[in-house]
Amino acid sequence: MINCQRMLNTFMQYVKIDSETKNEKAIGERIIQDLKELGYDAYTDEAGKKLNSNGNNIYCFIPGTNSSETMLFSAHMDTVTPGIGIEPYIDGEYIKSKGDTILGGDDKAGVVAILEALRTIKENNLPHRPIEIVFSICEEGGVNGVKEVEFSRLQAKKGIVLDSGGGPNHIITEAPGQTRIFASVIGKASHAGASPESGVSAILVAAEALNNMKLLRIDSETTANIGTFNAVGPTNIVSPLAEIVAEARSRSVEKLNKQTEHMIDCLKKACEKHGANLQYHIENCYYSYELDPEDEHIKAISDVCEGLGLEVVKLPSGGGSDANIYNSNGIRAVNIGAGMEKAHTTDERLNIEEFTNATKVVLKLMTM
């Protein structure tokens, strides 16, 4: 019943609208215009101001024509870099991008799946439940947009986030929490030729701390990584400052805290040992969530997938998404696949069949 050609055309147009994180204005305007053409009013909040973005979260509330309970459908509008001047093309079963950019199927596929389901409902005058839609900004780099969502305006207690790899039958029932560490190791400058012994090299102290850290894969549900190590200076001065930005993730809150403490501890010890100072702060980006695989919401999604002949795979995710924030605000949101593959790389591609299936699942859930 969905119009695949229309869905693909919309997708191609949407990914051509540049929308790297903090530049969601243009895609947001296009989405609002498309909703308006469908007869739905959308409104925005002021999230952009707080996040230094030119876009805002978009909301659209559609009253139900049946008595089913309200459901939230959500996807994010921003993309990672390099996402400027994307040229999509169809290559067999996939949509890919020409040149050296990502495709932006993460998460335009989710956005377009929701819109195509709405168009299909309108076109066929299908009975549907009360539908709440949120298209968020600034998901990449810390799910910040969704944190500014006006939760008091949402009625839904159940939700679907379309922001994962594979088809809609790939259901993310657990996702990790994340902390981020911003640390500055403050050494002591000194002339590197005349009196190196009276300096404290921030670079060496920080390097020692990092060398003592357990990083990357910690265990099956915990990871940690250094994203930034910044210490720039002339060679004739013992380095006075090294800045580090690191993250830890875990599906266990306890392990997350333990790993975060361990990383801070390594920094503290190295600084103490060499007489450097440490300044740091820890940002709790989002909390983990874990949904009971037997939960009725997950069961309903699974039934819909199975009804389409898709084998359900319930799996934990290594990454957080807007679903983490919905769950910590009382909405049982489940992240499902929208057909994207190799997201966050220039090899990113969209599996057309899985994308189509995601739209079918959204349509079915809306009209149940």
Chain residues binding Zn ion by CB under 5 A are 106-107, 163
The CA distance from 147 to 138, in Å, is 10
- Sequence-ordered alpha helix ranges (H) in 195-345: 202-211, 253-274, 296-307, 322-328
138 or 231: CB nearest Zn ion: 138
CA 355 and chain centroid, separation: 18
107 or 354: CB nearest Zn ion: 107
Q: Which of 24, 78, 116, 208 is the catalytic position?
A: 78
Q: Residue 119 corresponds to which amino acid?
A: R
107 or 208: CB nearest Zn ion: 107
Partners of residue 200 on adjacent β-strands: 188
Least separation in angstroms between residue 289's CB and Zn ion is 16
Least separation in angstroms between residue 110's CB and Zn ion is 8
Q: Is 139 known to be catalytic?
A: yes
109 or 271: CB nearest Zn ion: 109
Residues in the chain: 368
Least separation in angstroms between residue 276's CB and Zn ion is 38
Q: Which of 45, 139, 208, 348 is the catalytic position?
A: 139
Least separation in angstroms between residue 192's CB and Zn ion is 45
- 101 in helix, strand or coil? coil
The CA distance from 253 to 127, in Å, is 42
Q: How many CB atoms lie within 10 A of CB 157?
A: 14
45 or 163: CB nearest Zn ion: 163
The CA distance from 39 to 362, in Å, is 19
Q: Residue 52 corresponds to which amino acid?
A: N
Q: Two tokens at 155?
A: 């009625």
Q: Two tokens at 321?
A: 């998404």
Q: How many CA atoms, within 13 angstroms, populate the side-chain half-sphere of residue 162?
A: 35
107 or 341: CB nearest Zn ion: 107
Q: How many CB atoms lie within 10 A of CB 305?
A: 23
- 323 in helix, strand or coil? helix
Least separation in angstroms between residue 327's CB and Zn ion is 16
The CA distance from 91 to 14, in Å, is 18
Least separation in angstroms between residue 338's CB and Zn ion is 9
Query: Which of the residues are catalytic?
Result: 78, 139
